[in-house]
Every structure is written in structure tokens, then in C-alpha cells.
Amino acid sequence: MAVQTILKYPHPVLKKLARRVDVIDDEITSLMQDLIDTMQAGPGSVGVAAPQIGAALRVCVVDVSKSRHGKENNHGLLCMVNPEIIARSGTAVMREGCMSVPDYTGDVERATVITVRFLDSRTGEERELEASGFEAVAIQHELDHLDGVLFLDRIVSISTGLFRRKNYA
């Protein structure tokens, strides 16, 4: 498996609705490993969705455990196939960035607590978990990628909520 190139906005795959996965086979397992490798190689990355590496499939990874924002509250590495948010509550505005939009960050309003259901690619079993805080935000961000939505589409105010990135640190 390998680190893959991240597609940059306005690449058309990033705005496409990803297809559901019918079977977790060797191709999906390999794709998942590529997503993990790519996330771990990315500067400050806490998640990557398959469309970001050119695969329009409903597959993504999230791991906020190494981030200062998610270190205290996380479920570790999540390898999600066909994820869907089935409940959400609360709202907060947080600054988000994205490897597919490397030059900008933006203020985005998201739910503060979510329940997500997905197939775990490592076990093939359906899982349901509640995530909160930074982990909930990261999951929502990656699931947006599966629907062809970028954080740019969710900026709270285009005039005051979009910022040129200074660095990745």
C-alpha cells in the first residue's frame, strides 16, 4: 500500500457523490490502507476520504488521537465503509482545513455530538458509535467529502470566515 496524491479543489471528483460499497473485498482493503498511509503522511491530517485520492467510493478514515484537539476524546483509528450520521445534537463553530484545499482554512458550524453507523473495514461488522467534540467535527468533514461537499461549501461567512493558511503546523 502507499501514500497517494491528494486531489486539489476544483478537481471534479471532489464534487461528486460517492458510490456505496457492496462488498469489503481486497480492493476496498487496499484502498483503506492507502487512506491510512495518506492520512498519516499528511501534515496534521486527522482524516482522508476516498474521493480525495480519486476513488468515488463511500470509504474514509478518521483518527484524531494524535491531534492536540482530539487526544483526550477519541475512538482511535476509524476505518469506515458506507458511514452515515444517524443522530446529531448541539452546534459549534470551529476552524477547519483540508488537504484538498491547502491554501485556506475556514470557520464552519458543525454538530458537537453525532452518532455514526458504518461498516468497519477491518472486521466487516456494522458499528455504531457516538462521537463528540473534535472527533465529531472530523467525522462530519470526511463524510461531507463522500457527498461531494467541501468545507468551503459550509463556511459560516465567506466575508469573515475564510482565511489564507499561513502554514500546516
Residue 76 makes CB contacts below 8 A (sequence gap 6+) with: 63, 65
Of the candidates 109, 126, 130, 142, the residue annotated as catalytic is 142
Is 109 among the catalytic positions? Answer: no
Total count of residues recorded for the chain: 169
What beta strand segments (E) does the chain contain?
47-49, 59-62, 78-89, 92-98, 101-110, 113-120, 126-132, 162-164
Q: Which of 54, 26, 21, 57 is nearest to 38 (CA)?
A: 54
Query: How many CA atoms lie less than 13 Å away from 32 in the CB half-sphere?
Result: 23
Report, as residue numbers or ranges, the catalytic residues. 142
